[in-house]
Amino acid sequence: MQARPDIFTDKGGDTIQLIKTRQALQSLGVIVDVSTDFEPDLDNYDMVHLFNLKLVESTYLQFLNAKKQGKPIAFSTIYWRLSEEENQEFSKQLVSIYGKFRMGYLQKAKNTLKKLKYLQPAISFYTKIKENKRYQPHIFYRLRQEIGERKMQMQVLQEADILLPNSESEMGLIRKDFGVNKDYVVIPNGVDLGYESANGDYFYKKYGLKDFILCVARIEERKNQLSVIRALKDIDIPLVFIGRGREPYFSKCKREAGKNVYFLGHLEGSELASAYAAAKIHVLPSWYETPGLSNLEAALAGCNIVVTRKGATEEYFGNYAEYCEPNDIRSIREAILKAMNKPYPAKLEDIIKENYTWNSAAQKTLEAYYKIMHEYYGYKK
């Protein structure tokens, strides 16, 4: 398995997908190593599994290396984007948060920096990326300049041996955006079954909170926590945010938060599971989700789900969640209040256990591996 060089230091959904898929594959007897290098020696490997179409530069370099060494490639695309209309709405929201002048200034500064090649080493040092010598922004900058992001994406999509999107809607968007129509297997995001038996007593004893509204996600513009704060301004129900904050958005959220809002930082393991079990609902009104791993975890722990309509959420949750529009505070408020007054849909737990576990994801991933191994090596199960 190969992924971006900072996948374990700047963790995201792709980090969890890689780690959990690897663990589940190993339990099935597959030998899986992980490398974030661009040119590892692949002599001892039958195939390469790449991750992430959006952050394509490292994927592209790893793809070229696999092709050079004659190895078949499975590709977890992890792709979504805002439509033009959604992007305009998102931009309007950013302007409402930061102001038109500041947003214009930041965009102009960003565009200027992109053109200044000699600043790339300084940017690299400033962001501490040099701590990992494999991750060199000037290399990525040159790739964007000489090849272009879209051409890199197109080549990886067209020449990978099989695509592994997280949903049918993700594959549909890839077809629409890139005109690529080839073999694929949908590998749904998964959840650990341990959340099913989570108990909220620990969280209640530590924080004195239960039956609250919970949001587990990085606190940033795309996740849209500020809209939740604004939607619940006059409602006396505890609102708990778990996750690290990205500035300046995090400070803006804290300034507007009332006394009923709690920022608990990063939690994981049994403490996070207990938070899910103690909560009444989990809300994620993001600008898109595919479908949001924390939604699956929360649902298995017994939370009602409030989630954005943008992305692959309806494909996963069907009629067993309340949906909201990320650009509409009233929509977010109404969905939350509706979810607060509904019993937990037990059918959702059954759907998740049947379709959205890491073991299920690993089984489907292994079937995709068998397919391309057969084409390359004549390998049969």
What pTM was estimated for this model as a whole? 0.82
> What type of residue sits at position 129?
I
Q: Does a structural domain hold residue 138?
A: no
Q: What is the mean pLDDT of residues 163-188?
A: 95
Residue 219 sits in which domain range? 193-355
Task: Point out the least confidently predicted range of 9-18, 54-63, 332-341, 361-370.
Answer: 9-18
φ, ψ of residue 335 to 5 degrees: the values are: -65, -40
CA dihedral 311, 312, 316, 320 (to 10 degrees): 30
- My answer on whether 61 and 154 are in the same domain is yes
Burial class (CB in 10 A: 0-12, 13-18, 19+), 109: exposed
The whole-number pLDDT of residue 317 equals 95
Placement of tokens 């959420």 in the chain: 313
Which two structure tokens, joined as six digits, stand for 316? 């996963």
Taking alpha carbons only, the member of 295, 311, 309 closest to residue 351 is: 295
Q: Does a structural domain hold residue 137?
A: no
Q: Where are the alpha helices (DSSP H) in the chain?
A: 13-27, 56-68, 84-98, 100-115, 120-126, 137-146, 149-159, 168-178, 201-207, 225-231, 249-256, 269-278, 293-300, 313-317, 329-340, 346-355, 358-377
Q: Are 20 and 34 in contact (CB under 8 A)?
A: no
- My answer on whether 178 and 289 are in the same domain is no
Q: Give the Cα separation of 102 and 92 in Å (integer).
A: 13
CB within 8 A of 32, min separation 6: which ones?
1, 22, 25, 26
Could you read off the pLDDT of 117-126 as tens digits, one per residue?
Answer: 545 544 444 4
Task: Using pLDDT thresholds of 50, 70 and 90, give the confidence band for residue 86.
Answer: low
Q: Are 240 and 217 in contact (CB under 8 A)?
A: no
Evaluate if residue 332 carries a pLDDT over 70. Answer: yes
Which two structure tokens, joined as six digits, stand for 326? 């990320």
Q: Does a structural domain hold residue 199?
A: yes
- My answer on whether 367 and 230 are in the same domain is no
Could you read off the pLDDT of 343-375 as tens digits, one per residue?
Answer: 999 999 999 999 999 999 999 999 999 999 998
Q: What pairs with residue 74 in β-bridges?
A: 49, 162
- My answer on whether 288 and 235 are in the same domain is yes
- My answer on whether 363 and 313 are in the same domain is no
Burial class (CB in 10 A: 0-12, 13-18, 19+), 31: exposed
Q: Does a structural domain hold residue 5?
A: no
> What 8-state DSSP symbol labels residue 327?
T
Q: What is the mean pLDDT of residues 165-183?
A: 94
The whole-number pLDDT of residue 129 equals 41
Edge-first strand listing for the sheet containing 48-51: 48-51, 73-76, 162-163
- My answer on whether 72 and 218 are in the same domain is no
**Inter-CA distances, 227 with 44, 76, 244, 333, Å:** 50, 31, 17, 9
Q: Does a structural domain hold residue 223?
A: yes
- My answer on whether 62 and 158 are in the same domain is yes
The whole-number pLDDT of residue 80 equals 86
Q: Are 206 and 330 in contact (CB under 8 A)?
A: no
Q: Does a structural domain hold residue 3?
A: no
Q: Give the Cα separation of 273 and 301 in Å (integer).
A: 7
- My answer on whether 271 and 369 are in the same domain is no
Q: What is the mean pLDDT of residues 35-55?
A: 95
Q: Give the Cα separation of 245 and 345 in Å (integer).
A: 31
**Inter-CA distances, 52 with 148, 196, 225, 253, Å:** 16, 29, 25, 29
Three-class DSSP labels, 106-136? HHHHHHHHHHCHHHHHHHHHHCCHHHCCCCC
CATH number of the domain where residue 59 is located: 3.40.50.2000
Task: Using pLDDT thresholds of 50, 70 and 90, give the confidence band for residue 144.
Answer: confident
- The rounded percent of the chain whose pLDDT value lies above 90 is 72
Q: Does a structural domain hold residue 44?
A: yes
- At residue 323, the 3 state secondary structure works out as strand
Evaluate if residue 189 carries a pLDDT over 60. Answer: yes
Placement of tokens 């050079």 in the chain: 68
Q: Give the Cα separation of 381 and 379 in Å (integer).
A: 7
- My answer on whether 266 and 158 are in the same domain is no
- My answer on whether 268 and 293 are in the same domain is yes
- My answer on whether 248 and 263 are in the same domain is yes
Q: Does a structural domain hold residue 88?
A: no
- The rounded percent of the chain whose pLDDT value lies above 70 is 86
Counting the structural domains of the chain, the total is 2
The whole-number pLDDT of residue 108 equals 57
First to last CA, the chain: 21
φ, ψ of residue 290 to 5 degrees: the values are: -130, 50
The whole-number pLDDT of residue 327 equals 92
- My answer on whether 284 and 226 are in the same domain is yes
Task: Using pLDDT thresholds of 50, 70 and 90, give the confidence band for residue 133.
Answer: very low
Q: What pairs with residue 69 in β-bridges?
A: none
Task: Point out the least confidently predicted range of 53-57, 229-233, 302-306.
Answer: 53-57
Q: What is the mean pLDDT of residues 231-257?
A: 94
